[in-house]
Structure 1
Amino acid sequence: MKQRHWFNLHGWFALPLWLLFCFICITGTLAVFSHELTWLFNPNARATNPADMPAKPIAELVEVVEREYPQADVTTVISFEPYLVNAIAFSDAEHPYALAYVNPYTGKIQEVNTGVTFINFIRSLHGWLLFPWHGSYSIGYYLVSAFSLLLLGSLITGLVIYKRFWRAFTQPKLRLKQGKKTVLADLHRLAGAWSLWFIAIMSATGLWYLTQQILWHNDIDIEGHAPLVDASAVPTQASEQLPVSFAQALEQVKQRYPNFRNGYSMLPEHSRGMYQLIGGGGEMFYDQYSYRVAVNPYSGEIAQASSPADMGVLETVLHVADTLHYGTFGGLWTKSLWFIFGLILSGMSITGFMMWGNRTLKASKNAARKQRKIEQVQTVQQGVQ
């Protein structure tokens, strides 16, 4: 295929819905720092610890909420970075759904949020553009993840077009005095060469999200659900307090996985429900949901347990995709790197469109000029006749 054809193909990969693609890049870049932005703009979300106290067990934080709201039905405990509060989801007569922001060091409830958090909003906006979910699928999720195909196509065609791209690392070229067209082209090529690794990661993780959505849509589970308590083991007389407390369930998990750190744990929702304790274990590239333990609330036995050591290929990809997509595996340093290259990728979509716009405008002017010449020639010929 001729170079010109590869160039046109590269443009067509980049052009469809380029504005939406740029929007997805920008929201994803913000999502990388969603926790840090929450800490910056919401003082009630900060886990201040002036006395340098150790973090309290999350079971104690649940008790704090239950004492403050005696009728509360606590459902979930969500833990973030050490500098953020724990979010404890509950409901009662006055709060159909609420998140209590509890400082893990002081045990104080700093805020009760009954709306949408910034973290959930920006992740949802980036992940599925706030499109509604219809059961197990969302058109928005399909749309966003499908952009990975265009991104991959742009990467491949860009490599074909940009001969000897590695020179951008040793001999970067940015000609600032040769007009806007040259500056845009040089910026686009430089950004593309230095972002190759980042674009490859975004393409790969985006393809995984597309695959994951297809599996969800077809009700194919990557991970098994927590088992239910056998009906015969449920006491016939209902009791307000379960025989096995949340603290005891956590202790069981700690005995099985000493490095377990809570990520998203759920209390039993009904009489046959289990404690579902989900968290991380300190592995660098695995997310905070890679350890999953189900504890029987009546016997205290572990009914189901899984960790990275037990995972198959799909489960492993499931639990490393987010850390690679958002750059969370190395803490603030990798988040900062992902943020910078997210901005670069957003800028590339803009410079690419500007280059295409300039070429299109020039081609349109040339076509109009050619058409005028043809009309002038035809007019002269008619006059001679």
Structure 2
Amino acid sequence: MLKINNRFWFKLHGWLSLPVWALFCFICITGTISVISHELTWLTNPNARAANPADLPAKPAAELVQIVKQAYPTADVTNVVSFEPYLVNGVLFTDHDKPVAIAYVNQYSGEIQEVNQGITFINFMRSLHGWLLFPWHGSYSIGYYLVSLTAFVTLGAVITGMIVYKGFWRAFTQPKLRMSQGKKTFLTDLHKLSGVWSIWFLLVMGLTGLWYLIQAILWHVDYDIEPHPPLAQISQLPADIAQPPQPPLDLNGAMAIAKQRYPEFSPSYLMMPEHPRDTFKLYGGGDHAFYDEMSYFLAINPWNKEVVGDLNPDKMDILQTLAHIADPLHYGTLGGLWTKAIWFVFGLIISGMSVTGFLIWGSRTVKAARQTPAPVGQTVQEG
């Protein structure tokens, strides 16, 4: 039986890191920033803060929509987005002079604090980290594949690292960081120590990244993880299409239906009907800690008030479950600010590991090249 020595595993570990170290480091850094993108938005943009000195209750989404329509009478409101409680709600709309705009509405005071017609910092960082801002061609993006393929690099580096670092578990109880024996020794100890303490985090990143790759393939082959709700029947629409009346169900009524069905429903993304046959699509979170804020979904026909689409964690199949637990595990949002802080710290650690790993590999490669004997018959000319 072929026996693979330790040198092979060390080389494999190095080559898993070296060729893609710059891309991997970039993805780690942008992901680390994405984890705290909401908090950075709060720090850097006062208009995004949902100040509530009078301790007022949050206004319903329908009232925020009316506030925007009063300020912009010709606007067509398409979505309402809820972020963190300390950030304003976003009301997305289009107008004759605003192709795409998002109004930052303080959900407590009802004040429109800003109208943004560009990409938000949160969306920019998620897009930069998720698919490197590569364009989407239909249902796929090359950048999304590049990012998700680094899951193999992450998992491969963890496995080969544990094989190369004999007795790695001792670093939990006997951490070693020699700072007085030169830069090379210090970098090596730092890399090993960071790697051992980050094993759990690297496994989480690698496994969720592997899911993102599977998800990308499913999107590419047009496989719907979640079925699309049916459209309203033409027979349900009014006969006079020249002057169609408003459907009997508005956003307030749709939210009341959602709350009646799921009392724990906390709205995060609300979509208005785009055309007469479309439905209200309400996404939100509930009382399941490991699921994202889109794990509860209702599609409601505005003409007959019928729920035509319904999904929650108790009804999900395995693919739907993976789709809704991947983001909280990948971005550390499952426990609020505390888990975000932990994910941010370990994101910095693995970002630094990619740099120290490159420096260690590079120094050893240069040293090995210098020690390689010259071929027979080759003379060295001295200047």
Task: Name the SS of the counterpart of 1:97 in structure 2.
Answer: strand
Q: Paired residue for 2:335, among 330, 342, 350?
A: 330
Residue 61 (structure 1) shift: 0.5
Q: Paired residue for 2:347, among 336, 342, 351?
A: 342
Residue 263 (structure 1) shift: 1.0
Give the Cα separation in 1 of the matches to 2:378 and 2:156.
Answer: 41
Which residue in 1 is equivalent to 2:244?
239
Residue 282 (structure 1) shift: 2.7
Question: Is the counterpart of residue 3 in structure 1 residue 6 in structure 2?
Answer: yes
Which residue in 2 is equivalent to 1:271?
276
Q: Which amino acid in the other structure matches residue 9 of structure 2? A: W
- Could you report, residue by residue, the CA deviation over 1:59-100 in whole angstroms, capped at 9, with x for unpaired residues? 111111111111111111110111011101100111111001
Which residue in 2 is equivalent to 1:116?
119
Residue 243 (structure 1) shift: 1.6
Residue 175 (structure 1) shift: 1.0
Which residue in 2 is equivalent to 1:321?
326
In the alignment, is the contact (CA less than 8 A) between 2:102 and 2:116 conserved in 1? yes
Residue 375 (structure 1) shift: 3.7
Question: Is the counterpart of residue 203 in structure 1 residue 206 in structure 2?
Answer: yes
- Could you report, residue by residue, the CA deviation over 1:300-342 in whole angstroms, capped at 9, with x for unpaired residues? 1212211111001110110000000000000000000000000
Which residue in 1 is equivalent to 2:369?
364
Task: Name the SS of the counterpart of 1:29 in structure 2.
Answer: helix
Question: Is the counterpart of residue 300 in structure 1 residue 305 in structure 2?
Answer: yes
Question: Is the counterpart of residue 249 in structure 1 residue 237 in structure 2?
Answer: no
Residue 54 (structure 1) shift: 0.5
Give the Cα separation in 2 of the matches to 1:138 and 1:219.
Answer: 13
Give the Cα separation in 1 of the matches to 2:198 and 2:230.
Answer: 44
Task: Name the SS of the counterpart of 1:96 in structure 2.
Answer: strand
TM-score, length-scaled by structure 1: 0.96
Give the Cα separation in 1 of the matches to 2:314 and 2:261.
Answer: 13
Task: Name the SS of the counterpart of 1:371 in structure 2.
Answer: coil
Q: Which amino acid in the other structure matches residue 260 of structure 2? A: Q
Q: How does 1:83-232 map to 2 (within 5 A)?
A: 83-232=86-235
Residue 374 (structure 1) shift: 5.8
Task: Name the SS of the counterpart of 1:187 in structure 2.
Answer: helix
More off after superposition, 329-338 vs 230-239: 230-239
Unaligned runs of 5+ in 1: 379-385
Task: Name the SS of the counterpart of 1:175 in structure 2.
Answer: coil
Which residue in 1 is equivalent to 2:59?
56
In the alignment, is the contact (CA less than 8 A) between 1:226 and 1:276 conserved in 2? no
Q: Which runs of 4+ in 1 moved over 3 A?
A: 372-378
Residue 240 (structure 1) shift: 5.5
In the alignment, is the contact (CA less than 8 A) between 1:30 and 1:122 conserved in 2? yes
Q: Which amino acid in the other structure matches residue 65 of structure 2? A: V
Give the Cα separation in 1 of the matches to 2:301 and 2:71.
Answer: 27
Task: Name the SS of the counterpart of 1:201 in structure 2.
Answer: helix
Question: Is the counterpart of residue 312 in structure 1 residue 325 in structure 2?
Answer: no
Gap change, CA 1:257 and 1:375, over 3 Å in 2: same
Give the Cα separation in 1 of the matches to 2:339 and 2:380.
Answer: 64
- Could you report, residue by residue, the CA deviation over 1:204-263 in whole angstroms, capped at 9, with x for unpaired residues? 000000000000000001001122001111112243632211101110110000111111
Give the Cα separation in 2 of the matches to 1:228 and 1:354.
Answer: 57
Give the Cα separation in 2 of the matches to 1:354 and 1:241.
Answer: 65
Task: Name the SS of the counterpart of 2:374 in structure 1.
Answer: helix
Q: Paired residue for 1:45, among 22, 45, 48?
A: 48
Which residue in 2 is equivalent to 1:18?
21
Task: Name the SS of the counterpart of 2:98 in structure 1.
Answer: coil
In the alignment, is the contact (CA less than 8 A) between 1:102 and 1:110 conserved in 2? yes
CA RMSD of aligned residues (A): 1.4
Q: Which amino acid in the other structure matches residue 138 of structure 1? A: S
Give the Cα separation in 1 of the matches to 2:110 and 2:104.
Answer: 10
Residue 372 (structure 1) shift: 8.3
Which residue in 2 is equivalent to 1:381?
none
Give the Cα separation in 2 of the matches to 1:338 and 1:174.
Answer: 23
Q: Which amino acid in the other structure matches residue 86 of structure 2? A: Y
Give the Cα separation in 1 of the matches to 2:245 and 2:45.
Answer: 36
Q: Which amino acid in the other structure matches residue 189 of structure 2? A: D
Give the Cα separation in 2 of the matches to 1:152 and 1:240.
Answer: 57
Residue 202 (structure 1) shift: 0.2
Give the Cα separation in 2 of the matches to 1:25 and 1:122.
Answer: 12
Give the Cα separation in 2 of the matches to 1:176 and 1:326.
Answer: 33
Unaligned runs of 5+ in 2: none
Residue 129 (structure 1) shift: 0.3
Task: Give the structure with the larger helix fraction.
Answer: 1
Question: Is the counterpart of residue 81 in structure 1 residue 112 in structure 2?
Answer: no
Give the Cα separation in 2 of the matches to 1:46 and 1:227.
Answer: 38
Give the Cα separation in 2 of the matches to 1:373 and 1:227.
Answer: 77
Give the Cα separation in 2 of the matches to 1:20 and 1:360.
Answer: 20
In the alignment, is the contact (CA less than 8 A) between 2:103 and 2:115 conserved in 1? yes
Give the Cα separation in 2 of the matches to 1:119 and 1:168.
Answer: 37
Q: Which amino acid in the other structure matches residue 176 of structure 2? A: K
Q: Which amino acid in the other structure matches residue 109 of structure 1? A: I
Which residue in 1 is equivalent to 2:68?
65
- Identity of counterpart residues, as a percentage? 60
Give the Cα separation in 2 of the matches to 1:106 and 1:241.
Answer: 29
